[in-house]
Structure 1
Amino acid sequence: MNTLIRWAGDHLWLLLVIAFAAAFGVHGSGMYDSGYRTAKAEGESALQSLRLEYAEQGRRAAQESLLLYRQQVERANQAELQYLSAQDEIQRLKHQLNQERIAHVSTQYRPAPGAAPVPAPRFIVTCGWLRDFNAALGTGLPATAGCRATPGAQAAAWPAPGADAELLESGVSAADILAHARDYGAWALANLAQLNALIDLHDKDKH
């Protein structure tokens, strides 16, 4: 026992070093565990904050996309309403021309202001005039039965300019020409209404 005490006395410094190292190890381990837990908590907190930030950005982006979509739908609906309104006006005009005006202004006239209406003179449209009228409109319509140059494969061809046949009567009346202008005008106005609707929609999309 005394030998052990003497050995401990002689080696006190060694025992102190061992005790200090053990205490430091325990303390260091605790410090490591505490630092790990702190870093882990901070990392999880930062990750959660990042997730919340991304979620908020996604929510705002979804709201903005929905708003833009609704605005585009509203603009498209307005453009469609404008186009349909123009179509209604075109149909109203066609109906009015058909039922009231074409026959009235094509079959009678007043020889002088205040005079009673009398039958209009026969309106003669030559084959050449009708050919050039259609060409001016770019319609490319075939010749009428009374204006066909030759039978057979070329039955639909118009008389050539300068030919005697171009001065023949085409059989087309003033009412026929007005009816053609009515249909052609309705087609042109419908195209214009559609074009205007598309332009309005495009202009609104840019703002």
Structure 2
Amino acid sequence: MGALEQLVWPIPARLAVVALACILSAAAAGSVAYGFGFRYAASLGDTELANLKAEHAEQARIAESANRLQLLQQVTRANKTEDLLLDVMTRHAEEKRQLQERIPHVTTQYIAAPGAAAKPIPHCVFTAGWLRDYNTALGVPTPRPGTVAPTAEKAAWPATGTEAELLESGVTPADILAHAQDYGVWARSNLAQLNALLDLQEKD
């Protein structure tokens, strides 16, 4: 009996052993469960991250494709507009060439009445003051006082109210017509460019 009694532990000791065994089992089970849970959560996170990356990549691809298409459309419109402008410039240049050919005919002879013979146009005088005011109306700046100007320019810009503004400027009707042609081509070309730019902005 004495030996048997030595093997029997007191109840508090047995409870402590059982409690320790339970704690160790619970800890082991918790560790295993934690490991499974961690790996499962990591797997879910990796899957969601991969899905998110794929979604962003697809959105980027779609955006890039849309941007490329929009750029190609803009380039196509710009090229068409440029072709139209070049056609307009070519037409203006041809119109100017034809007008230049007619300048000598319409500035050297005239007919006083229907059926009369053509005769030389009388000398036409444009005063220096007239030329000054003509240039001023077109926005050509006047020479500033103290600046050195060529002789012809000095003659073309006399002071208002002086005798010099009544001198002959040397400008002929042919000169004025040639200038009007140049100015007309410049103005119509600017208008064509402005309209083309407005059309491009409306399409965009």
Query: What TM bracket, shorter-length normalisation?
Result: 0.7 to 0.9
Give the C-alpha shift of residue 39 in structure 1. 1.0
Q: Single out whichever of 164-173 and 181-190 deviates more from structure 2.
A: 164-173
Q: Single out whichever of 61-70 and 24-33 deviates more from structure 2.
A: 24-33
Check 1:92–1:5 CA distance in 2 against 1; reply closer, same or farther (3 A cut).
Answer: farther
**2:92 maps to which of 86, 90, 93:** 90
**1:79 maps to which of 81, 88, 101:** 81
> Take 1:125 and 1:167, find their aligned partners in 2: how far apart are those partners?
9
Indicate the residue corresponding to 1:65 in structure 2.
67
> Take 2:43 and 2:193, find their aligned partners in 1: how far apart are those partners?
63
2:80 aligned partner, one-letter code: Q
Indicate the residue corresponding to 1:51 in structure 2.
53
> Take 2:10 and 2:202, find their aligned partners in 1: how far apart are those partners?
99
Task: Trace 1:12-31 onto structure 2 (pairs within 5 A).
Answer: 17=19, 20-31=22-33
Give the C-alpha shift of residue 15 in structure 1. 6.1
Secondary structure in structure 1 of the residue aligned to 2:8: helix
Indicate the residue corresponding to 2:134 in structure 1.
133
1:135 aligned partner, one-letter code: T
Q: Single out whichever of 79-88 and 46-55 deviates more from structure 2.
A: 79-88
- Find out whether 1:175 has 2:174 as its counterpart: yes
Q: TM-score, normalised by structure 1?
A: 0.75
Indicate the residue corresponding to 1:190 in structure 2.
189
Q: Single out whichever of 124-133 and 13-22 deviates more from structure 2.
A: 13-22
Q: Single out whichever of 111-120 and 43-52 deviates more from structure 2.
A: 111-120
Check 1:107–1:132 CA distance in 2 against 1; reply closer, same or farther (3 A cut).
Answer: same
> Take 2:17 and 2:158, find their aligned partners in 1: how far apart are those partners?
131
Indicate the residue corresponding to 2:119 in structure 1.
118
> Take 1:5 and 1:42, find their aligned partners in 2: how far apart are those partners?
56
Over the aligned positions, Cα root-mean-square deviation in angstroms equals 3.2
**Unaligned stretches of 5+ residues in structure 2:** none
Give the C-alpha shift of residue 49 in structure 1. 1.2
**Unaligned stretches of 5+ residues in structure 1:** 143-151
Check 1:9–1:130 CA distance in 2 against 1; reply closer, same or farther (3 A cut).
Answer: closer
Q: Single out whichever of 39-48 and 196-205 deviates more from structure 2.
A: 196-205
Give the C-alpha shift of residue 51 in structure 1. 1.1
> Take 2:142 and 2:184, find their aligned partners in 1: how far apart are those partners?
16
